[in-house]
Chains A and B, each alone.
Chain A
Amino acid sequence: MPDAPVAARQQPRSPTDLFLSFTALALQGFGGVIAIAQRELVERKRWMTNEEFVEEWAVAQIMPGPNIVNMSINIGGRYFGLRGALAAVAGLLLAPLLIVLALALLYAQFAAHPGVVGALRGMGAVASGLIVATGLKLFPGLKKNALGMPICVGLGVLCFAAVALLRWPLAYVLLGLGTCACVLAYRRLDA
């Protein structure tokens, strides 16, 4: 277990707190909530460390369904059981849903406007950068990983090549590389 700086540790006060916190981060999360989630949950609220964030993210990623929704279920459920999970998911989805529906109504009229098309392109370009940067920021968290840095880097490079460059289906990559990684980690951990 990675030892966290215990002194600074905080946690959500209530399901309402979870609901509002996830609403806030969902509303700031354009083009993927993961970047803002890392910043809010780890850097600002200090509910978890970078290592824990990655661990939760690993579970969220491997389970079917939207990663960030899975993440909110994990975190909400951790503190307040089913109520917490529901509060976090509702916070994550409710306000953005209303906005998305409003946008859909507007979009029909403005979809062809060159300014709108351009703005969406620009935001998309920024958003892809945000996601890459989140990965880079989480990377130092691997220092304490049981696999050791060289193996972590090797696995990371293979995974990137398979998914981003070769465009192999995600499920196969997760299954193949993931199994190797977990077996390696298992052998390196003390019983």
Chain B
Amino acid sequence: MSTALPLAWADWFQLFTHFLSLSLLAVGGAIATAPDMHRFLVDEHGWLSDSQFNASIAIGQAAPGPNVLFIALLGWHVGLNTGSLGWALLGVLLSMLGIMLPSSALTFLASRWSHANRELRAVRAFKQGMAPIVIALLVATGWILASAHGDAARDWPLWLTTAVSTLVVWRTRLHLLWLLGAGAVLGWFGVL
């Protein structure tokens, strides 16, 4: 974006409330809200460019820490587009507070309640019943991330990398950072 984006306080407020409203819909992680974030920030308001949006997600995935930080980057880029670092920091604050406050408060209360009532048959049934499903969800998440590799005939080195790292993590206690480092090096030299 060449010219500074004019954003009034009302716009920031709208951004904050939009993130608030998405917070409770983010079942399965903040990334689940990405399509709606894109619609709101890029298509509807033009506060972000497509490439900034994609960069936010890519950095959030690649950097250490929870992927929800891509939300902070969305706010950061919106702020930068208005032309200053101060606004960028405000964007980080508003977007993170918005996306986290409702869901975190609800989780805190729910976890206190479920711990206080952990002997309750319904609570035990919930935890035991959900266990196989959330485990399968992890495998499914990994699968979906891996499918982003694309065509298996062309991108087989990527699939192979995923398969090998799955096996190594599953069967050995090798530190995970070695694997990530190896992936980065292979990728850097264009092997993958």
Q: Which A residues are within 8 Å of any B CB, using their own CB?
A: 1, 26-36, 39, 43, 51, 54-55, 57-70, 73-74, 77-78, 82, 85, 89, 92-93, 95-97, 99-101, 103-104, 107-108, 111, 114-139, 141-142, 145-147, 151-153, 155-160, 163-164, 167, 170-171, 174, 177-178, 181-186, 189-191
Query: With contacts A74-B107, A77-B111, A171-B27 known, is A120 near B187, CB below 8 A?
Result: yes
In the assembled complex, the Cα of A104 lies from the Cα of B26 at a distance in Å of 24
The 24 listed contacts between A and B (C-beta, < 8 Å) are: A29-B66, A54-B131, A55-B131, A58-B127, A60-B107, A65-B102, A65-B107, A66-B66, A69-B68, A77-B112, A97-B92, A104-B73, A115-B188, A117-B187, A119-B187, A120-B62, A120-B187, A122-B158, A122-B183, A128-B142, A142-B131, A160-B139, A177-B133, A189-B124
Task: Mark contacts of B109-121 with chain A using CB atoms, 8 A cut-off: 1 yes-contact digit, 0 otherwise.
Answer: 0111011000001
Residues of B within 8 A of A67 (CB): 28-29
Tell me if A58 and B103 are in contact (CB < 8 A).
no
Q: A126-B162, A164-B140, A182-B126 are in contact. Are A54 and B108 (CB under 8 A)?
A: no
9 nearest A-B pairs in the assembled complex, by CB-CB distance: A96-B65, A122-B187, A65-B103, A129-B165, A132-B142, A135-B138, A126-B183, A133-B169, A186-B125
- The interface size of chain B toward A, counting residues with CB under 8 Å, comes to 98
Do A58 and B176 have beta carbons less than 8 Å apart?
Answer: no
Knowing A103-B59, A123-B184 are in contact, say whether A77-B126 is a contact too (CB < 8 A): no
Cβ of B161: which chain A residues have Cβ within 8 Å of it? 122, 125-126, 129
Closest to B132 in A: A152
Check if A137 sits within 8 Å of B107, measured CB to CB: no
Q: B residues within 8 Å of A by Cβ?
A: 23-30, 32, 55-56, 58-69, 72-73, 76-77, 92, 96, 99-100, 102-104, 106-108, 110-112, 114-115, 121-122, 124-149, 158-159, 161-170, 173, 176-177, 179-180, 182-192
The A contact surface, by secondary structure, is: helix
A61 to B136, CA, bound (A): 12
CB distance from B15 to the nearest CB of A (A): 18
Using CB atoms, name the residue of chain A closest to B187. Answer: A122
Given known contacts A29-B65, A155-B132, is B169 in contact with A130 (CB within 8 Å)?
yes
Min distance, Cβ B35 to any Cβ of chain A, angstroms: 11
- Rounded to whole Å, the gap between the CB of A29 and the closest CB of chain B is 6
Q: Is the CB of B127 within 8 A of A55?
A: yes
